[in-house]
Amino acid sequence: MSIGAWNVRGLNKSVKQKEVIDVIRSNNLGICAVVESHVKVLNLKNVCVKTFGQWDWVSNNNSCEAGTRIIVGWNPRLFDVMIISQSKQVIHCYVKFCGSDVGMYLSFIYAASNYLDRRLLWDDLKKHSLVVKKEAWGLLGDFNVALKPSEYSEGCSKTPKGVEDFVDCLSFIEVEDLNSYGFQFTWNKTPAGNMGLLKKLDRVMVNLKFISDHPLAYAVFKPYRNSDHCPVILNLPVDKVKWKPSFRFANFISEKEEFLPLVKEVWDINIEGFFMFKVTQKLKILKKHCRKLCNKHWGAGKRIQKLRKELECKQQEIDSNPFDCKIREEHANILLDYNVACNDEEKLLAQRAKIKWLQDRGNSNRIQMVLNEDGRWVSGKAMKDKFVSHFNKF
């Protein structure tokens, strides 16, 4: 399971959106935070739909004066995400793996460039640590400050302003850098001539509980691409997550000869108890048999390729021995299996297309944000509160 954060230096252009999409896909991300997006409130929905597709997303545009600083998108099939709080420089979330009790606090950060403004972030993190207490906590993003001279490509003769504040914050909230590999310097200043300054500004920091829960977790700092910051990927092993595969019923198996006798056999089983209990128990038993039947006929695409090769071989044999009845009989059997497999695949794809259409229709009918009286767009909890207050007054 992977979680990413990237300072893209503006998400308004389609070329940047494509880069973020590629980072999500190539690293198999379930959550992706985009910081320093500069997306205006009016364009926020369109940009997020293009970038995150069917994912859910949230931003801190309500806390920003001009442009959105942080956008967090996640795959709702993999994660349940609850927003705890947000400010101009951070979004605090509680993240839970779907189908599991494993969860953690995550904070996605885009620190201010001025060390005085960053003090507000350090105070915010200290307060949030009182909420986290002894639970697992990870912090990802652009902290905009290097901790030590070795995190500068040219070294540093004196301690820059704001480092002491950062060190004091880390000591208070008790977090440290997670084991990582990849790029040592995560920020690349635009070089003047052949010279340029490199710093480590982007980090993944975790507390002891996080390390205890995910001892094999690690971070990877990827190449800059078309930004001046590295994308950072937090990789989490899924050893502790007990995935329960969902039951998927393929409609085409109901047309198989063995389907109805199978249902009758299960339904004739005598189970003691109330009527609804009997029904649910028989459905559970039937589910196992249906899954086996699905697996037997699943993967029609591979079966089609295999049968097509066998069909071609038999047709070549017929061409060489046109009067061999045994070859013709074998060809007829393979052709029948081939046509059945093609029919199964067509029905399965049609079923998937219908499900996708229903999901898209449901998403298009969902209200993402509303316009406030003061001309500001609101979403998430603020949008729900707005509906409640409006109809209370109404």
pLDDT per position as a tens digit, 132-144: 988 999 999 999 9
Structure tokens at 109: 């950060």
Helix (H, G, I), strand (E, B) or coil at 231: coil
Which residue spans of the chain are classified as CATH 3.60.10.10? 2-235
Residue 240 has pLDDT above 50, yes or no: no
Helix, strand, or coil here: 106? strand
State mean pLDDT over 330-345: 82
Question: What is the spatial distance between Cα 5 and Cα 204, in angstroms, rounded to a whole number?
Answer: 9
Predicted pLDDT at 373 = 78
Both tokens of residue 152?
Answer: 């500068």
Give the best-scoring range by mean pLDDT among 48-52, 226-230, 327-331, 358-362: 48-52
Q: What is the dihedral of CA 106, 108, 109, 110, to 10 degrees?
A: 180
Query: Which percentage of the chain shows pLDDT scores above 70?
Result: 91
What residues does 95 pair with on adjacent strands? Answer: 81, 104
Report yes or no: 269 and 282 within 8 Å, Cβ to Cβ. yes
Tens digit of pLDDT for each residue in 257-276?
888 888 898 888 888 877 88
Q: Answer yes or no: is pLDDT of 209 > 90.
A: yes
The span from the CA of 214 to the CA of 235, in Å, is 10
pLDDT at 382: 81
Place of tokens 């403004």: 117
Least confident of 66-75, 95-104, 190-199, 263-272: 190-199
Which pLDDT band, with edges at 50, 70 and 90, does 241 fall under? very low
Which ranges of 174-238 does DSSP label H, i.e. alpha helix?
Answer: 208-213
Cβ–Cβ < 8 Å for 159, 145: no
Range from 247-261, 274-288, 309-323 carrying the lowest mean pLDDT: 247-261
Are 336 and 342 contacting, i.e. CB atoms less than 8 angstroms apart? no
CB atoms within 10 A of CB 255: 12
Contact 122, 162 (CB under 8 A): no
Residue-level pLDDT at 255: 79
Place of tokens 């990927």: 233
Helix (H, G, I), strand (E, B) or coil at 89: coil
Helix, coil or strand: residue 5 = strand
Per-residue confidence (pLDDT) for residue 122, from 0 to 100:
96
**Cα–Cα dist 188/85, whole Å:** 31
Residues 5 and 141 sit within 8 Å (Cβ to Cβ): yes
Task: Report the candidate in 159, 167, 33, 22 with the shortest Cα–Cα distance to residue 95.
Answer: 33
**Alpha helix stretches (DSSP H) within 162-274:** 163-173, 208-213, 259-267
pLDDT score recorded for residue 69: 93
pLDDT in tens, 20-45: 999 999 999 999 999 999 998 889 99
What is the distance between the alpha carbons of residues 293 and 256, in angstroms, rounded to a whole number?
A: 9
**Residue-wise over 128-167: b if at least 16 C-beta within 10 A, else e?**
bbeebeeebbbbbbbbbbbeeeebbbeeeeeeeebbebbe
Mean pLDDT of 184-209: 82
How many helices (H) and strands (E) are present in the chain, helices listed first? 10, 17
How high is the pLDDT of residue 380? 76
Residue type (1 letter), 379: S
Threshold 0.75, pTM exceeds: no
Query: What size, in residues, is the chain?
Result: 394
Question: What are the Cα distances from residue 13, in Å, to 4, 16, 22, 50, 176?
Answer: 20, 6, 15, 11, 35
pLDDT tens digits, 111-133: 999 999 999 999 999 999 999 98
Of the CATH numbers 3.60.10.10, 2.40.37.10, 3.80.10.10, 3.40.50.2300, which one belongs to the domain with range 2-235? Answer: 3.60.10.10
**C-beta separation of 10 from 16 below 8 A:** yes
* Lowest mean per-residue pLDDT among 56-60, 105-109, 205-209, 255-259: 255-259
Q: Provide the pLDDT for residue 349.
A: 77
Q: Which of 131-140, 324-333, 342-351 has the lowest mean pLDDT?
A: 342-351
Three-state SS at 304: helix
Q: Supply the pLDDT for residue 342.
A: 79
CA 48 remoteness from chain centre: 14
C-alpha of 208 from chain center: 25
Categorize the per-residue pLDDT at 150 as very low, low, confident or very high, splitting at 50, 70 and 90: confident
The arithmetic mean of pLDDT across residues 69-76, rounded, is 94
pLDDT tens digits for range 374-385:
777 777 778 888
Please give the mean pLDDT across all residues of the chain. Answer: 85
The answer, yes or no, to whether residue 239 has pLDDT greater than 80, is: no
Taking phi over 0 as left and psi of -120 to 50 as alpha, with beta for the rest, 160 belongs to: beta
